[in-house]
Amino acid sequence: MQRNRVARRYTGEMDFKFASKTLILAIACGSFALTAFAQWQWMDKDGRKVFSDRSPPADIQEKDILKRPGGGKHVAAAPLSANMPASPEAAAPATAGKAIAPKLSGKDAQLEARKKQAEEEDAAKKKAEEEKVAKAKAENCERVKRSAATLKSGARVTTANAKGELEILDDAARAKEIKRVQEIIAADCV
């Protein structure tokens, strides 16, 4: 009987130790996963670290942002001392005289060339589309003008009704159709 109690107590201790280690491991993995997937890290107004895949709210100051997307870390600016210049321009030696421009790599030139080519292609497509629309509009105007001339000529004009039967336009219907065609010409054939 005594041996049984010791065995239970020992098993209980093992279960507790195992559970503790499992819990610690789960917490560590959870925090690693949180920091691995979070792209932004900042200190909130209460002094707590915040991890997020979205940028911090507008009320968070720049100095409180600890990490940005892409692995870039923010370095807080050092306070100005009496012997340090106030601006980067003042820090440059007076004898330098000329500004140092960053060198562009071949990739930047290729990127610019691709951008320019894409813009030219877009402009060409847009111009082709505009020409197509203008051509269709001119053809429609020509058809409408021919219809107006036919209606004004006094010749018999037939139309199909809802059942598909041909009907001859009477004077009232002809006048109505002439008015409609004239409105189309005034609106679309400029």
DSSP 153-188: HT---EEE-TTS-EEE--HHHHHHHHHHHHHHHHHH
pLDDT of residue 96: 46
Convert the pLDDT of each residue in 29-63 to its tens digit. 665 555 556 588 989 988 899 988 888 898 888 88
Distance from C-alpha of 68 to C-alpha of 57, rounded to nearest angstrom: 13
Is residue 130 classed as helix, strand or coil in its secondary structure?
helix
- The whole-number average pLDDT for the span 83-110 is 55
Q: Say what the pTM is.
A: 0.37
Distance from C-alpha of 31 to C-alpha of 53, rounded to nearest angstrom: 15
Convert the pLDDT of each residue in 116-170 to its tens digit. 999 999 999 999 999 999 999 999 999 999 989 988 888 888 888 899 999 888 8
